[in-house]
Amino acid sequence: MALVALVAAAGPRWERTAPAEGAARDLPPDQVGTFSIVAYDPQRKEWGVAVQSCILAVGSMVPFARSEVGAIATQAYANTTFGPRGLDMLADGHSAEEVVKALIQSDHGRERRQLAVIDKEGRLAHYTGKDCTEWAGAVTGEHYSCQGNILAGPQVVQAMTQAFEKARGSLADRMLAALEAGQQAGGDRRGQQSAAMLVVKKGAGWNGFDDRFIDLRVDDHPSPIAELKRLVNLRLGRSRSGG
C-alpha cells in the first residue's frame, strides 16, 4: 500500500500515483472520476470542498465538512463512510495524516480509493490508490489540496492550483475559480454532468442553527460548474433574484 501524506508547505507539492500493472484503462461509468478541492480559509474560519464529475449527483458522495473540525473529499470508487468517520476522528483530535492512514488501512478496496483530508489547522493529507483510473493524482499547497482521477492529465490539478492561489475573494470564489480552471484544462476525460460545493463556518447556516454556510449541488446539467457558480452567486446575494 502506498500512503501519501503531505503537510501544507509554502509552495505546491505534487504526488502522482502510477496505475498498477493490468489496471483498467477504460472509462468506468460508475467511478466517481472527479476533480475536487478541499480548502481552509484561516481568516474567515471556513472549511470547504468543491467538486465536478461526469456522474449524476456527485455532491451526494464526495464532499464532507464540519466547522472547527475540517473537510474531506472521498472519490474514485468512493467509500462514503470515509466522510463521517474521518470527521469524527478529526473532532477527536487526530491529525489529517492520522485520519487518512487509519481510513485507508481499514479498507480492503483501498487501491481504488482517492481521499483528501484537511483538518482544523489547515494541515493536509491525501491518498490515491494505484488502481485509480489515470490520470490520477494530487497537488497540495498552503491550506488546500487539489486532486482528481480519470483526468485529461496532470495539467488539470496544476491549473486548479494556479487559479486557487491567484483568485481573490471568499473561499467559495477561490474554489470556483479552481473548478473552472480545471475544466478548461481538460477536466474529467468523460465530460461533465454534476458539481457541488460545501462550505462550513460556525453558526453560518440557516438562522444560525447549523454550520452550512454554502451547501449547493448541481445534480445533472450540461454545464454544471457554470450553474454552480450561478447558485453560489445567488447564495451570496449577488443577484436580485437571489432573495
The pLDDT value recorded for residue 243 is 38
Give the residue-averaged pLDDT of 100-116: 98
Number of domains in the chain: 1
What residues contact 229, with CB distance under 8 A and at least 6 apart?
Answer: 176, 180
Separation CA 159–CA 3 (nearest Å): 24
- The C-alpha cell of 109 is what? 478496496
Separation CA 62–CA 218 (nearest Å): 13
What is the residue-averaged pLDDT of the chain?
A: 89
> Is position 77 within any domain?
yes
The pLDDT value recorded for residue 9 is 40
> Is position 54 within any domain?
yes
> Is position 70 within any domain?
yes
Answer yes or no: is pLDDT of 11 > 80.
no
Residue 238's pLDDT band (boundaries 50, 70, 90)?
A: confident
> Is position 6 within any domain?
no
Work out the burial of residue 108: count CB atoms within 10 Å of its CB; fewer than 13 is exposed, 13-18 middle, 19 or more buried: exposed
* Model pLDDT for residues 57-83, shown as the tens digit of each residue: 999 999 999 999 999 999 999 999 999
The pLDDT value recorded for residue 26 is 53
| Residue 196 burial (CB count, 10 A) | 27
Domain that holds residue 132: 31-238
**Rg of the Cα atoms in the chain:** 16
What residues contact 160, with CB distance under 8 A and at least 6 apart?
Answer: 35, 37, 139, 146, 178, 179, 181, 182, 185
* Model pLDDT for residues 152-177, shown as the tens digit of each residue: 999 999 999 999 999 999 999 999 99
Nearest to 76 by CA among 114, 116, 36: 114
Q: How far is CA 200 from the centre of its chain?
A: 14
> Is position 10 within any domain?
no
Contact 44, 175 (CB under 8 A): no
Assign residue 67 the CATH number of its domain. 3.60.20.10
